[in-house]
Amino acid sequence: AAIINNLGGIAGFGDTSGMGRPYEWPDLLRVAGWKLRDGRYLYAEQNSSGANSRSGNFFHNTYSQDEIKPEKSDAAMGVDVIPLPDWVYEHRTEVLNAWRPGWKEFLDAIPPPPRDECFDKIAFRTSMNSEDQYLIIGGQSWGFHGHPDANAIIEYTDNKRYCLFDSGYFVPQTIEHNTLIVLRDGMFELVPHLAGLAAMSDFDNIGMTQTYLNDYNGANWRRNIVWNKEKYFLVIDEVEALKPGDYGIRAVFRTLSDDKPEVGKDRVRASYRSQAFNLLNASQAQLK
């Protein structure tokens, strides 16, 4: 359920169609509800997009039942850390293999974070209502049909609109994701396989995480997120150079706008479907 956004779609990690097309994933929640006899999965399935339009789907028809009723749960609310499966970590050089010549050898040489600090996804939400906030961070990059999502903000929805968004089938390049690009001596290197979770807290009104990528083009990158629940997200990126060189940093935040976004000295304002989204810059970096 963590990968289902508050608009009822699927968060766009890897090769997915734009705007959160669900494919058959939500129907797997129906299977889980039947197998585990747990109505929380059925509630999540009912809140996914296309819940009433998949009557021709195998899973939808085969696992239809009326014994288990949908049950709303707050168990996955707040800051929800989804662990990285053991088999992914143990076989990461095969599971997270990159598809181009030379990439695999380069990525395999980067030491991974400790096993107990790795994660698959981290979701932030107080409810599944479309008016409320939903943000998800990726914990892994590459793999079959995978994208460079480790330590990136995969998606952010609020007020019935997409605020940050990188979904799409043909968006494999790092510049097409809500991430940080580290340049050293004018050169870029691939995003490492796995991100780590250094710290997290979840209180009634505030949630916080610190995630990281080590040995990313000669630098360590820590992404700190402070969530003032249902008010704003504060993102603080820290980069520590490990090797000598001339470094350049580019923070990428991709949004949607019906018209050309308004770019000011310290903010970007984008209006989509009559809902405004403001991206404020608290640093001295130039907005483009």
**Distance between CA atoms of residues 58 and 28, nearest Å:** 10
DSSP3 helix / strand / coil % (the chain, rounded to 5): 15, 35, 50
What residue type is assigned to position 143 of the chain?
Answer: G
| Contact between residue 210 and residue 200 where contact means Cβ atoms under 8 Å apart | yes
> What confidence score (pLDDT) does residue 210 get?
99
> What confidence score (pLDDT) does residue 262 get?
92
Task: Name the pairing type of β-strands 219-228 and 78-83.
Answer: unpaired
pLDDT tens across the length of the chain (288 residues):
788 888 877 788 876 666 655 556 667 788 888 889 999 888 877 776 544 445 556 556 666 777 888 888 777 899 999 999 999 999 998 889 877 788 888 999 999 999 999 999 999 999 888 899 999 999 999 887 788 899 999 999 999 999 998 876 666 778 788 999 999 999 999 999 999 999 999 999 999 999 999 999 999 999 999 999 999 999 999 999 999 999 999 999 999 899 999 999 899 999 998 899 999 999 888 888
DSSP string, 15-46: S--GGG--TTHHHHHHHHHHHHT-HHHHHHHH
**Distance between CA atoms of residues 53 and 60, nearest Å:** 10
> What confidence score (pLDDT) does residue 42 get?
85
**Domains contained in the chain, CATH given:** 78-280 (2.70.98.70)
| Contact between residue 155 and residue 166 where contact means Cβ atoms under 8 Å apart | yes
The pair of structure tokens assigned to 2 is 């963590």
Closest of 219, 281, 213, 211 to residue 251, by C-alpha: 281
Helix axes 39-46, 25-36, angle to 10 degrees: 160
The model carries a pTM of 0.89
Strand order across the beta sheet in which 134-138 lies: 78-83, 119-125, 134-138, 153-158, 161-165
The set of residues, in sequence order, having a beta carbon less than 8 Å from that of 285 and lying 6+ positions away, is 249, 251
Instruction: Name the CA dihedral angle for 273, 80, 12, 39, rounded to a multiple of 10 degrees.
Output: -90
DSSP string, 80-117: EEEEPPHHHHHTHHHHT--SSTTHHHHHHTSPPPPGGG
